[in-house]
Amino acid sequence: MPLRTLDTLPARAGGSLAGTRVIVRCDLNVPLRDGVISDDGRVRASLPTLNALINQGARVVVCSHLGRPDGAPDPAFSLAPVAQRLSELLGKPVAFARDTVGESAHEAVAALADGDVAVLENLRFDPGETAKDDAGRREFAGRLAELGDALVSDGFGVVHRKQASVYELAELLPSAAGLLIAAEVDVLDRLTERPERPYAVVLGGSKVSDKLGVIEHLLPRVDKLLVGGGMMFTFLAAQGHKVGKSLLETDQLDTVRRYIATAQERGIELVLPVDAVVAASFAADADHVVADADALEDTPFGADGLGLDIGPRTAEQFADAIRSARRSSGTGRWACSRCRRSPPAPRPSRRRSPRSTGCPSSAGRLRRGGATARLRRRPVRAHLDRRRRQPGIPGGQTTARTGGARMGAVTTNGRRLPLIAGNWKMNLDHLQAVALVQKLHWALKDAKHEAGTVELAVFPPFTDIRTVQTLLDADKIPFSLGAQDLSAHDSGAYTGEVSGQFLAKLDCRYVIIGHSERRAYHHESDEVVAAKVQAALRHGLVPVICVGETAEDLEEHGASAVPVRQLTAALNGVAAGADIVVAYEPVWAIGSGQAATPEQAQDVCAKLREVTAAAIGGDAADRTRILYGGSVKSGNIAGFMREPDVDGALVGGASLVVDEFAAIVRYQKHVGV
């Protein structure tokens, strides 16, 4: 049966949903600590569907569960903080109903105008949502149905559950899948029915029993199967290893032994942990050590030791397996998400294969995340690549771990998340680099800058990258990291060059390609730039593609002709939906103290977005951030950022001056922005 999508909803003349009350079942089950959201990835993941409905004039009624309140109101699980965060991300008021189907809910929905949004209180405050008997769920679903004319299911983490708002409500109202669900279904179809080979799947989550159907379905289809999360201890026990007090499903041991035997018979590479993090107890401040997988009880904690995560050798082993795959996907958590502790190992394991062509996942990397406006420094799941992890990926569903759109590239009012990039060029040794990053971080903290409103990226010289990356991780500094160039080749006899593979291992997210200085001093052609763009994408890096005209070009051809030609060439052969950044740098303005006017920059950037749309698709172009670079200063940045197609700045010399660069990053504090 074909998937019903948003365009199948009962619309009025002209395709409008004006006046239609649309209930959207989201998955807003975010982590809360004292009423504060520590990871808003799932809220951000709901934005595309909500914005699509808002733009069609629907009256949007958002509902979700949060936690396990056992069928009764509990302030600790209120969706009020989620409603507030959703309002911030949408850039408009969001009404909040203090109950789910009661008087407050009816009043909130009745007050909605076209394009307005209301959030209902936690669905699980009513026992009918998760009732074991069909009648109880139907009764609650009937009361929910009174609040809407149609249902959009967009909670990917709950679509498999037989719960009132998911199952019975869909029988009572015309229903359709939201954009998140539609994208995930497309991804799953590509991953399970026509994957590229070799195909690797990473299994996480706490219990084997929760993944029985997934494992049975995947075994005939995969080439590599990597097992992490709580379920890894059942696999280790099935091999005869002692696992202490780690999570263990003894009733699934025979099932797991059968899986191991099937993998061997089919020639599937089964990658099990070779070491693990073992703690004294299930607590945030518990003592912990790393132990070999066959010696988990040979720690100071003995048979009372509790396994919480994969170890550093396993992280590297997983990373190698994923890198050697053409396609990789994963499901479930890999580590205890409630224990705050110091990570004992590097975090490469969930990074996308550099050889993978990548397919989009609507849960986004959020982030890798995460990406982002992204709360990327959450100190849990120690071995995840925090740049690319997808925050809050539900354990009950399989989700792609490969490339595609970053949810973090879109922010309030439908605008793309601004990116301020500091290109240090050939300046600063490693000690000076540390000092600059620390001072910049302190300056922004002292000014109470909100990191989630602007993404800040630094591009140090190659010799400083490792030092800066270590500092960002150790001090939990929310800056992104980039490189100033890369080789078009992955390896070989290319003296002095640096490959994308090296940069990916250093946790770089971005790489500048085609900078005017490279074109001028090193005579890089459009063909060389295009090859470097492909190299960056092969290794999961986001290319910052620089284009711009010289004074002679400007006089002879006008402002946009050369940048349009350069970008068209750079995007030749780039796959639809690719994750890129474009930087327009009028060469005549760089270092001259002069700058294009905001109107001139907008004119060129708008044309560059058209080129991007033609090359990688309209949706990807809408997500692509276009930066202005050319004598950017704190005194002129606000004017550029008011333009609709200018999404940030590529800053050169000013990025080396702490107070000046901090003022540029904080441009939103300027009057009128």
Residues 257 and 290 in one domain: yes
Token duo for residue 264: 């061997």
Q: Residue 433 forms beta bridges with which residues?
A: none
CATH number at residue 626: 3.20.20.70
Residues 460 and 500 in one domain: yes
Range picked from 126-135, 190-199, 325-334, 346-355 for highest mean pLDDT:
126-135
Residues 323 and 443 in one domain: no
Residues 17 and 92 in one domain: yes
13 secondary structure, DSSP code: G
Burial bucket for residue 489 (CB in 10 Å: 0-12, 13-18, 19+): middle
Q: Is residue 187 part of a domain?
A: no
Q: Is residue 79 part of a domain?
A: yes
Q: Residue 410 forms beta bridges with which residues?
A: 416
Residues 104 and 219 in one domain: no
Residue 254 has pLDDT above 80, yes or no: yes
Q: Is residue 233 part of a domain?
A: yes
The last residue of a domain, from among 150, 177, 204? 177
Per-residue pLDDT of 552-576, as tens digits, reads 888 887 778 899 999 999 999 898 8
Measured CA to CA, the distance from residue 669 to residue 641 in angstroms comes to: 12
Per-residue pLDDT of 597-632, as tens digits, reads 899 999 999 999 999 999 998 888 989 999 999 888
Residues 627 and 502 in one domain: yes
410 secondary structure, DSSP code: B
Percent helix, strand and coil across the chain, each rounded to 5? Answer: 40, 15, 45
Residues 135 and 259 in one domain: no
Could you tell me which of 573, 577, 551 has the C-alpha nearest to residue 562? 551
Please give the tally of structural domains in the chain.
Answer: 3
Per-residue pLDDT of 175-206, as tens digits, reads 999 988 888 787 777 766 777 789 898 888 77
Omega prior to 370 cis, within 30 of 0: yes
Q: Is residue 189 part of a domain?
A: no
Residues 430 and 363 in one domain: no
Q: Could you list the residue range(s) of the whole structural domain that residue 586 is in?
A: 415-669
Residue 403 has pLDDT above 50, yes or no: no
The last residue of a domain, from among 147, 177, 207? 177
Q: Is the dihedral of CA 158, 161, 164, 167 positive or negative?
A: positive
Residue 397 has pLDDT above 80, yes or no: no
Measured CA to CA, the distance from residue 229 to residue 318 in angstroms comes to: 13
Q: What is the pLDDT of residue 378?
A: 28
Q: Is residue 182 part of a domain?
A: no
Could you tell me which of 551, 499, 542, 560 has the C-alpha nearest to residue 520? 551
Confidence of residue 330 (pLDDT cuts 50, 70, 90): confident
Rounded to 10°, the helix 80-90/47-55 angle is 60
Q: Assess contact for 297 and 244: CB atoms under 8 A.
A: yes
Residues 429 and 318 in one domain: no
Predicted TM-score (pTM) above 0.75: no
Measured CA to CA, the distance from residue 346 to residue 309 in angstroms comes to: 13
Token duo for residue 560: 């946009």
Q: What is the pLDDT of residue 97?
A: 97
Q: Is residue 291 part of a domain?
A: yes
Q: Is the dihedral of CA 45, 49, 50, 55 positive or negative?
A: positive
Residues 260 and 313 in one domain: yes
Q: Assess contact for 485 and 502: CB atoms under 8 A.
A: no
Q: What is the pLDDT of residue 39?
A: 83
Residue 120 dihedral angles phi and psi, to the nearest 5°: -80, 155
Residues 12 and 47 in one domain: yes
Residues 11 and 151 in one domain: yes
Measured CA to CA, the distance from residue 222 to residue 349 in angstroms comes to: 18
Q: Assess contact for 406 and 623: CB atoms under 8 A.
A: yes
Tell me the pLDDT of the chain averaged across its residues.
83
Q: Out of 136-140, 582-586, 635-639, pick the least confident.
A: 635-639
Q: Is residue 407 part of a domain?
A: no
Q: CA dist 468 to 386, 397, 435, 445, 507, Å?
A: 16, 36, 10, 18, 10
Measured CA to CA, the distance from residue 400 to residue 360 in angstroms comes to: 7
Measured CA to CA, the distance from residue 75 to residue 95 in angstroms comes to: 18
Q: Out of 48-52, 193-197, 314-318, pick the least confident.
A: 193-197
Among all residues, which ones are annotated catalytic?
423, 425, 515, 517, 585, 591, 631
Q: What is the pLDDT of residue 336?
A: 62
The last residue of a domain, from among 402, 434, 467? 402
Residue 268 has pLDDT above 90, yes or no: yes
Q: What is the pLDDT of residue 192?
A: 67
Q: Is residue 410 part of a domain?
A: no
Helices (H), 230-287: 232-238, 253-266
Measured CA to CA, the distance from residue 393 to residue 399 in angstroms comes to: 7
CATH number at residue 49: 3.40.50.1260
- Average pLDDT score over residue span 246-274: 93
Could you tell me which of 19, 39, 133, 34 has the C-alpha nearest to residue 76? 34
Q: CA dist 68 to 76, 77, 130, 330, Å?
A: 10, 8, 10, 25
Q: Would you give the distance in Å from CA 532 to the centre of its chain?
A: 24
Measured CA to CA, the distance from residue 80 to residue 37 in angstroms comes to: 11
- Average pLDDT score over residue span 310-328: 88
Residue 393 has pLDDT above 80, yes or no: no
Measured CA to CA, the distance from residue 630 to residue 641 in angstroms comes to: 14
338 secondary structure, DSSP code: S
> Whole-angstrom distance between the N-terminal and C-terminal Cα of the chain?
48
Q: In what order do the strands lie in the sheet with 398-400?
A: 269-271, 224-227, 199-203, 327-331, 398-400
Q: What is the pLDDT of residue 63?
A: 97
Higher pLDDT: 476 or 329? It is 476
Q: What is the pLDDT of residue 386?
A: 29
